Amino acid sequence: MKGSQFKQPMLEFSGSCAGCAETAYARLVTQLFGDRMYISNATGCSSIWGGPGATSPYCTNKEGHGPAWSNSLFEDNAEHGLGMYTAQKFIREGLAEKVREVMEKTVCEERKAVCAKYLETMNDGEANKAATAALVANLEANVCCDTVKEILDNKEYLCKKSVWIFGGDGWAYDIGFGGVDHVLASNEDVNIFVFDTEVYSNTGGQASKASNIGQVAQFAAAGKEVKKKSLAEIAMSYGYVYVAQIAMGANPAQTIKAIAEAEAYNGPSLIIGYAPCEMHSIKGGMMHCQDEMKKAVECGYWNMFRFDPSKETGKFTLDSKAPKDGYQEFLRNEARYSRLIREFPDRAEELFARNEAAAKERYEHLLKLVELYKD
């Protein structure tokens, strides 16, 4: 907590709904990596509060560093983010060549050492940030040749970037899924963050593959028939993708841990953050957003876990405790579910029971994964 909450957020004054869970997650990511962060954003709520016309809620710190942000389309965001990553990787590799050249030619021991440190830490975010600062200070003190000048002309690209691909569940589970899958399979060092509101929030609440059984949404007026897709497990099946499910209001420490691990992992990462939304019509309103996440985890509606391929043993960690009672109360506390009782009481009972049964089955399955990945 100390390493994040005393740090300056580089996301301020967004135009999101009050209590929005998406901004709470994004803000936290900027506190951790904002000064060396690239964001590729899918169209959706996060591109609207994240990039309203003519202004930007993303800002810089006092050194003038802040996230670089861009939105391409709804359907190609993952590919767009991979492009951002590949472009900076290509530029950095060219710069590394030049740094190597300077290191080999120079007779100054100190310059040799800062060059070596930079090259050594190329893939380690925080260490490379410090090494880049030392390298730039050393080179600026004596611009002795054209190679040094060329490095300095591109100094903003030197430091390892933290590349994030943001978007909602409509993007990640449905319309942009092909791209998400392709980018995860690329084995490149990018981080995908899904704000899972379980509906297409920005266009008025259409059902997505993240919506759950009995949930009333547009195109699911009588409650969705089938269960939520397990995007996390699809990603885990690759074996080399870091995957986590988080819920900030239920366990902030697990949230921070997952974000930090995903970023440090030298390969593709997928984080799915549970994001209660205005569209859920939670009793008492969105001031209860973070509490609602806690309730969701306690009753087993949402599960928190982490799958870390870099671990030798125990790759899968289940961070949720065994569910307590209160599942049906949880569903009935949100009008996206409870309105089905008014309209189709019998069907509501049946679908809500199926929703709970699916959650129980899912938890049992997650326990088996812990066993499976033990050794």
Ligand X SMILES: Cc1ncc(C[n+]2csc(CCOP(=O)(O)OP(=O)(O)O)c2C)c(N)n1
Taking CB under 6 A as the criterion, the residue among 55, 154, 203, 310 binding ligand X is 203
Size of the site for ligand X (CB under 6 A): 20
The Cβ of residue 234 has, within 10 Å, a number of other Cβ atoms equal to 17
Per-residue mark of binding to ligand X, 131-170 (x: CB under 6 A): ------------------------------------xxxx
Give the residue among 50, 47, 2, 3 at the shortest CA–CA distance from 27: 50
Taking CB under 6 A as the criterion, the residue among 197, 255, 269, 320 binding ligand X is 197
Contact segment (CB under 6 A) with ligand X among 77-85, 114-122, 199-207, 289-297 equals 199-207
What CA–CA distance (Å, rounded) separates 157 from 95?
A: 8
What CA–CA distance (Å, rounded) separates 22 from 46?
A: 7
Between 142 and 203, whose beta carbon lies closer to ligand X?
203
**Cα dihedral angle (61, 256, 232, 198), rounded to 10 degrees?**
-70
The Cβ of residue 374 has, within 10 Å, a number of other Cβ atoms equal to 10
Taking CB under 6 A as the criterion, the residue among 164, 195, 242, 274 binding ligand X is 195
Per-residue mark of binding to ligand X, 316-355 (x: CB under 6 A): ----------------------------------------
- What does the block give as tokens for 201? 């929030």
Q: Does residue 46 bind ligand X (CB under 6 A)?
A: yes
Give the residue among 34, 35, 36 at the shortest CA–CA distance from 88: 36
**Nearest 5°: phi and psi at 369?**
-65, -35
Contact segment (CB under 6 A) with ligand X among 128-136, 196-204, 212-220, 263-271 equals 196-204
The CA-atom distances, in angstroms, between 95 and each of 4, 118, 122, 154 are: 31, 11, 11, 8
Between 31 and 202, whose beta carbon lies closer to ligand X?
202
Per-residue mark of binding to ligand X, 74-103 (x: CB under 6 A): xx----------------------------
Q: Does residue 202 bind ligand X (CB under 6 A)?
A: yes
Taking CB under 6 A as the criterion, the residue among 9, 19, 44, 57 binding ligand X is 44
Q: Does residue 41 bind ligand X (CB under 6 A)?
A: no
| SS3 of the chain: helix, strand, coil, percent, to 5 | 50, 15, 35
Residues that bind ligand X (CB under 6 A): 42-46, 74-75, 167-171, 175, 195, 197, 200-203, 208
